[in-house]
Amino acid sequence: MVYSSFDPSADFARCLDQEDQLYHYREEFYVHGNLIYLDGNSLGLLSRRAEQALLKTLDDWKMHAIDGWLQGEQPWFYLTEKLGEMLAPLVGAQPDEVIVTASTTVNLHQLVATFYQPKGKRTKILADELTFPSDIYALESQLRLRGYNPHEHLILAKSRDGRFIQEEDVIDLMTDEIALIILPTILYRSGQLLDVERLTAEAHRRGILVGFDACHSAGAVPHFFHQWDVDFAFWCTYKYLNSGPGGAGALYVNRKHFNRLPGMAGWFGSRKDRQFDLELDFTPAENAGSLQMATPHVFSMAPLLGSLEMFKEAGINNVRRKSLELTQYMMDLIKHEVQGMGFAIGNPREDYRRGGHVSLEHKEAARICRALKENGVVPDFRAPNLIRLAPVALYTSFLDVWDAVQKLKRIMVEKQHEKFENKRDVIA
């Protein structure tokens, strides 16, 4: 931890900022006025480098038109592979095991269509009940497409307390009826970081393929997917990776599976030197790129060129270190400043189990979130009682955290939240 003894003063927060080796990256982002942005686990802020990368790509379109596919500083034809190479170190993958393409749920459909091969008794998919609901929708629909009843063939590991999933409970469900496992790296509500290495090893010991949804960890937590022998993974890039709203998704495929035909083939998954032959026989790329389907959304990918430059400079291990320090500091402040006001911390306290955000529970969470926004703090609400607060390593300061908790305390003392209804906005 960055400090050995906690001090609740603003001066202490300023001292922590002075010692922060990543502090200067804050100047790279558009942080407006006195706004304290703590919703980077939903949508990251725009950086100047991401902006410039997008503007450069627009300029390439202006100057080269269709020739931008092969000309310009970053030819569009190779953009998905280039970004895959840049992303690979953040998740511990080989450069050709990662591709940037489509979106999270589309990539999940593609991966399940590719890796779910029911045979004999092995016809079921194992997931967990606390995962992001979109993943469940995709899994259910894939089962229906194969003629299976999701109520019988989608097995969900239960939570003992509504916050966390115990790895032992997942492992107990790895029976000889399971054909595929899909789990999150981090639970999106509580921020619990699952033991990916252990779960992968236990699945393989039983002959089961396993994949992970890394949406809430990519860019915040280092992974070692190749070393851990993870079969596949998928994630978005608009949260901690700061690619912007609707930013492209990404996926990882272990190179041992490069010989698999994609479940849903499309022309952009062709081998690059054969792609424009436009033959009726599909010749898949001999890497993760084979799982691409359609023409890439170039402008949704371009900001990543700038954003990922910063991650290369900063280093994902340094990002993780500061993220843990920020969340620990936030929890210490919350305990000191608003104890007895009805709050409970609903995320793991241990570093090895905690992701990049703090989950603060309160029965009046929705109206408290509205009051926070009115006071210049942007949180994230999850029904029925959760305030997610994500201090992001590249642009959140320790003083930001101190200010946010002071505002939370003032809201509760002055009962500012009571003027709002205790229900969410259209977008939570």
Q: How far is CA 39 from CA 20, 108, 109, in A?
A: 21, 24, 27
Residue 133 among known ligand-binding residues: yes
Inter-residue contact 366 to 347 (CB < 8 Å): no
Nearest to 182 by CA among 162, 152, 153, 146: 153
Tell me the C-alpha distance between 291 and 287, whole Å: 9
Please give the span between the terminal C-alpha atoms of the chain, in angstroms, as a whole number: 32
Tell me the C-alpha distance between 36 and 30, whole Å: 12
Q: For residue 198, what is the enclosing H or E element? A: helix 196-205
Residue 105 among known ligand-binding residues: yes
Q: How far is CA 295 from CA 138, 157, 216, in A?
A: 22, 37, 26
Inter-residue contact 128 to 181 (CB < 8 Å): no
Inter-residue contact 397 to 17 (CB < 8 Å): yes
Residue 185 among known ligand-binding residues: no
Tell me the C-alpha distance between 282 and 287, whole Å: 15
Cα dihedral 237, 243, 245, 248 sign: negative
Residue 101 among known ligand-binding residues: no
Q: How far is CA 313 from CA 24, 306, 383, in A?
A: 12, 11, 37
Instruction: Return the SS3 of 57.
Output: helix
Burial of 25 from C-beta contacts in 10 A (0-12 / 13-18 / 19+): buried
Tell me the C-alpha distance between 121 and 175, whole Å: 10
Angle, helices 10-19 vs 316-337, to 10°: value is 170
Nearest to 237 by CA among 383, 72, 53: 53
CB atoms within 10 A of CB 318: 15
Residue 123 among known ligand-binding residues: no
Inter-residue contact 6 to 332 (CB < 8 Å): yes
Residue 132 among known ligand-binding residues: yes
Tell me the C-alpha distance between 242 and 37, whole Å: 13
Residue 216 among known ligand-binding residues: yes
Burial of 426 from C-beta contacts in 10 A (0-12 / 13-18 / 19+): exposed
Inter-residue contact 169 to 185 (CB < 8 Å): no
Residue 25 among known ligand-binding residues: no
Residue 188 among known ligand-binding residues: no
The binding site consists of 104-105, 132-135, 213, 216, 238, 267, 295
The binding site for pyridoxal 5'-phosphate consists of 104-105, 132-135, 213, 216, 238, 267, 295
